[in-house]
Structure 1
Amino acid sequence: MNELFMGKKSTESTRGNQWSPAKKWIAASLAGVIWIMPVVGSEGAGWLGAGTAPVAQAAASFSATKLSEEVITSGAMMMKYKFTTVRSGKSATGLASVIRVDLNNPYVSLDVMTGKGGNLTTRQSTGGMAAETGAVAAVNGDYFNTGGEGAPIGGQVSGGVLVSTPSQLNGMYAFAVTKDRKPIIDEYTFEGMLTAEDGSQFPLSGINKGAYNPEGGSSTYSHANAAYIYTDAWTALERPKGSSTTPTEVLVENDTITQISLDSALPVTVPKGAYILRTHGLAAEFVKAHLVVGQKINSTYLLRSKTTQQELDPSTLQMMIGGHTILVNNGKASSFSRSTSSIGGYRARTALGYSQDGRYVYVIAAEKNSNSAGLSLTELQSFMTNIGVWKGINLDGGGSTTMVDRPLAETSTTLTFNTEYGKEQRTIVNGVGVYTSAPQGEVKGIKISGSSVLLIGQKATYSLKGYDTYYNPVDVAAANPAWTASGGSVTVNAGEATAVKPGTVKLKATSGTASAETEVTVLGGEDLSSLIAGTATAPLQAGATVSVPVSAVSKSGATIAVPATALKWEFIGFKGSVGDGKLKVESVDPGVTTGYAIARYDGFSTAVVLSTAAATAWEDFENANYPFAFTTNAAGVTGTAAVVAGSAERAGSKVLSLSYDMSAGTGKMYAYAQFNGTKGKDIPAAATSMSVDVMGDMSLNWMRAELTDASGKTAYIDLAKVIDWNGWKTLNIDLSGSGIKFPASLKRLYVVNVEEGQDERAKTGTVAFDNISFVMPSLSSEAGLPKGTAAMSIGGKAMTVNGTKRPIDVAPIVKDGSTYVPIKYVLDAFGGNAVWDAKTKKIMVLRGSKALDLTVNKKEFVLNGKRQSAEVAPMILNARTLVPLRLVTEQLGLTVKWEQNTKTVTIES
Structure 2
Amino acid sequence: MFTAPLNLFTSFSPLTSISHVSAATAPAAVTYKLVKQSETMVTSGARQVNYNWVPSNATKATEVLHVLEIDLTNPYVQLNAMGGPQGSVTAKQSVGAMSKETGAVAGINGDVFRTGITTEAVPMGAQITSGQLLVSSEQLKGMYTFGVTQDRKPVIDNFSFSGMVTAADGTTFKLTGLNKSAYRTEPDRAYSHVDTLYMYTSAWTAPERPIASSTIPSEALIVDGNVTEVSIGTPIKTAIPANGYILRGSGNKTATDFIKSHLIIGDKVTTEYSLQSNNSGQSYDQSSFQMMVSGHTLLLDNGVAAAFSRDIDGVSGSANRARTAVGYSKDGSTVYLVTVEENGGRKGVTLKVLQQMLLQLGAWKAVNLDGGGSTTMVSRPLGEFQVGLTHPTSYGTTQRQVANGIGVYTIAPQGTIKGIVASGSKTLFIGQQSNFSLKAYDNYFNPIDPSGLTPTWSIDKPLGAFTEGTFLASKSGTAKLSVNAGSASDTIPIEVIGEAQISKLIVEPSTTLLKPGMTINAPVKVQLTDGRQLSLPASSVAWEFYGFTGSSSNGKITIDKVNSNITAGYAVARYDGFGTVAALASGTEKPLEDFEKVSYKVGFTATPKETVGNTSITTGVQGRESSNVLLMDYDFTVGAGKRYANAVLNDGKGITVTGTPSALTLDVLGDQSYNWLRAEFTDVNGKTVYATIADKIDWMGWKNIRVDLAAAGLKGPAQLTKLYIVNAEEDQDERALQGQLAFDNLALQYPPSGIKVTNSTIVMTVGSKQAKVDGKKVTLPGAPFMQQGTNTNFLPLKFVADSLGAQVLWDNKSKRVTILRGDTMLELWVGSNKMTVNGVRQTLTVTPTIVNGSVYVPVRVISEQLGQKVDWVSKTKTITIH
Counterpart of 1:779, as a letter, is S
The CA deviation string for residues 256-280 of structure 1, in whole angstroms up to 9 with x for no partner, is: 2233334443222322211222233
What is the CA distance between 1:472 and its match in structure 2?
Answer: 0.4
- Runs of 5+ consecutive residues of structure 2 not aligned to the other structure: 1-21
- Kept after mapping to 1: 8 A contact 2:660/2:714: no
| 1:175 equivalent in alignment to 2:146 | yes
Closer/same/farther in 2, CA of residues 863 and 407 from structure 1, 3 Å limit: same
Tell me the residue number matched to 1:123. Answer: 92
| 1:266 equivalent in alignment to 2:236 | yes
Cα distance between partner residues in 2 of 1:204 and 1:568: 66
DSSP 3-state at the match of 2:87 = coil
Cα distance between partner residues in 1 of 2:395 and 2:855: 46
In the alignment, which of 204, 207, 210 is matched to residue 178 of structure 2? 207
In the alignment, which of 205, 209, 212 is matched to residue 235 of structure 1? 205
- Kept after mapping to 1: 8 A contact 2:654/2:722: no
Counterpart of 1:382, as a letter, is Q
Counterpart of 2:876, as a letter, is T
What is the CA distance between 1:682 and its match in structure 2?
Answer: 6.8
- Kept after mapping to 2: 8 A contact 1:569/1:597: yes
Tell me the residue number matched to 1:248. Answer: 218
Counterpart of 2:301, as a letter, is N
- Kept after mapping to 2: 8 A contact 1:612/1:780: no
Tell me the residue number matched to 2:9. Answer: none
What is the CA distance between 1:437 and its match in structure 2?
Answer: 0.5
Cα distance between partner residues in 1 of 2:559 and 2:172: 85
Cα distance between partner residues in 2 of 1:774 and 1:454: 37
Q: Which shows bigger deviation, 740-749 or 885-894? A: 740-749
Counterpart of 1:143, as a letter, is V
In the alignment, which of 459, 465, 481 is matched to residue 433 of structure 2? 459
DSSP 3-state at the match of 1:132 = helix
DSSP 3-state at the match of 2:458 = strand
In the alignment, which of 415, 421, 446 is matched to residue 447 of structure 1? 421
Tell me the residue number matched to 1:758. Answer: 732
* Alignment map for 1:220-619 (pairs within 5 Å): 220-243=190-213, 245-280=215-250, 281-344=253-316, 345-346=318-319, 347-531=321-505, 535=509, 544=517, 546-547=519-520, 551=524, 553=526, 555=528, 556=530, 557-562=532-537, 564=539, 572-573=546-547, 591-596=565-570, 598=572, 600-607=574-581, 609=583, 611-613=585-587, 617=590, 619=592
Tell me the residue number matched to 1:63. Answer: 32
Closer/same/farther in 2, CA of residues 571 and 729 from structure 1, 3 Å limit: same
Counterpart of 2:70, as a letter, is V
Cα distance between partner residues in 2 of 1:322 and 1:216: 19
What is the CA distance between 1:154 and its match in structure 2?
Answer: 2.1
In the alignment, which of 820, 826, 830 is matched to residue 856 of structure 1? 830
Closer/same/farther in 2, CA of residues 499 and 705 from structure 1, 3 Å limit: same
What is the CA distance between 1:237 and its match in structure 2?
Answer: 4.4
The CA deviation string for residues 648-695 of structure 1, in whole angstroms up to 9 with x for no partner, is: 8779988666554434443211233557847996786695x7655544
DSSP 3-state at the match of 1:447 = strand
- Kept after mapping to 2: 8 A contact 1:537/1:609: no
In the alignment, which of 187, 191, 200 is matched to residue 162 of structure 2? 191
- Kept after mapping to 2: 8 A contact 1:121/1:151: yes
What is the CA distance between 1:752 and its match in structure 2?
Answer: 0.9
* Alignment map for 1:805-824 (pairs within 5 Å): 805-815=777-787, 816-824=790-798
- Kept after mapping to 1: 8 A contact 2:691/2:712: no
Closer/same/farther in 2, CA of residues 85 and 634 from structure 1, 3 Å limit: farther
Closer/same/farther in 2, CA of residues 57 and 603 from structure 1, 3 Å limit: closer
Tell me the residue number matched to 1:41. Answer: none
What is the CA distance between 1:635 and its match in structure 2?
Answer: 1.0
- Runs of 5+ consecutive residues of structure 1 not aligned to the other structure: 1-55
Give the RMSD, CA atoms, in angstroms.
3.8
Tell me the residue number matched to 1:893. Answer: 867
What is the CA distance between 1:135 and its match in structure 2?
Answer: 0.9
What is the CA distance between 1:717 and its match in structure 2?
Answer: 4.2
Closer/same/farther in 2, CA of residues 458 and 305 from structure 1, 3 Å limit: closer
Cα distance between partner residues in 1 of 2:850 and 2:346: 42
Closer/same/farther in 2, CA of residues 73 and 711 from structure 1, 3 Å limit: farther
What is the CA distance between 1:179 and its match in structure 2?
Answer: 0.8
Q: Which shows bigger deviation, 355-364 or 502-511? A: 502-511
Tell me the residue number matched to 1:34. Answer: none
Cα distance between partner residues in 1 of 2:99 and 2:199: 28
Cα distance between partner residues in 2 of 1:491 and 1:221: 66
Cα distance between partner residues in 2 of 1:718 and 1:213: 33
Q: Which shows bigger deviation, 448-457 or 588-597? A: 588-597
Counterpart of 2:743, as a letter, is A
Closer/same/farther in 2, CA of residues 669 and 901 from structure 1, 3 Å limit: farther
Give aligned-pair identity as a percent: 40
What is the CA distance between 1:477 and its match in structure 2?
Answer: 4.6
DSSP 3-state at the match of 1:166 = coil
- Kept after mapping to 2: 8 A contact 1:194/1:201: yes
Counterpart of 2:534, as a letter, is T
Cα distance between partner residues in 2 of 1:215 and 1:612: 60
In the alignment, which of 73, 81, 86 is matched to residue 112 of structure 1? 81
Tell me the residue number matched to 1:103. Answer: 72
Q: Which shows bigger deviation, 98-107 or 888-897? A: 888-897
Cα distance between partner residues in 1 of 2:669 and 2:706: 14
The CA deviation string for residues 82-128 of structure 1, in whole angstroms up to 9 with x for no partner, is: 336899x9x99322222121110001111111212112222222222
Counterpart of 1:406, as a letter, is R
- Kept after mapping to 2: 8 A contact 1:235/1:269: no
Counterpart of 1:293, as a letter, is I
Cα distance between partner residues in 2 of 1:851 and 1:211: 55
The CA deviation string for residues 391-439 of structure 1, in whole angstroms up to 9 with x for no partner, is: 1222233333222222222212222233334433333332211111011
Closer/same/farther in 2, CA of residues 550 and 859 from structure 1, 3 Å limit: farther
Cα distance between partner residues in 2 of 1:618 and 1:749: 17
Q: TM-score, normalised by structure 1?
A: 0.83
Closer/same/farther in 2, CA of residues 475 and 232 from structure 1, 3 Å limit: same
Counterpart of 2:490, as a letter, is A
Closer/same/farther in 2, CA of residues 291 and 775 from structure 1, 3 Å limit: closer
Closer/same/farther in 2, CA of residues 306 and 641 from structure 1, 3 Å limit: closer
- Kept after mapping to 2: 8 A contact 1:95/1:371: no
The CA deviation string for residues 112-166 of structure 1, in whole angstroms up to 9 with x for no partner, is: 1121211222222222211111111112222333343343332222211222332
What is the CA distance between 1:583 and its match in structure 2?
Answer: 5.3
Cα distance between partner residues in 2 of 1:568 and 1:338: 52
Counterpart of 1:355, as a letter, is S
Cα distance between partner residues in 2 of 1:905 and 1:384: 60
What is the CA distance between 1:647 and its match in structure 2?
Answer: 7.2
- Kept after mapping to 1: 8 A contact 2:344/2:533: no
Cα distance between partner residues in 1 of 2:573 and 2:131: 61
Q: TM-score, normalised by structure 2?
A: 0.85
Closer/same/farther in 2, CA of residues 871 and 277 from structure 1, 3 Å limit: same
Counterpart of 2:448, as a letter, is V
- Kept after mapping to 2: 8 A contact 1:457/1:563: no
Cα distance between partner residues in 1 of 2:400 and 2:550: 45
- Kept after mapping to 2: 8 A contact 1:197/1:297: yes
Cα distance between partner residues in 2 of 1:642 and 1:237: 26
Cα distance between partner residues in 1 of 2:872 and 2:520: 44
Cα distance between partner residues in 2 of 1:694 and 1:423: 23
Counterpart of 2:769, as a letter, is K
What is the CA distance between 1:331 and its match in structure 2?
Answer: 0.6
The CA deviation string for residues 572-608 of structure 1, in whole angstroms up to 9 with x for no partner, is: 4555555676656666666555454555544333445
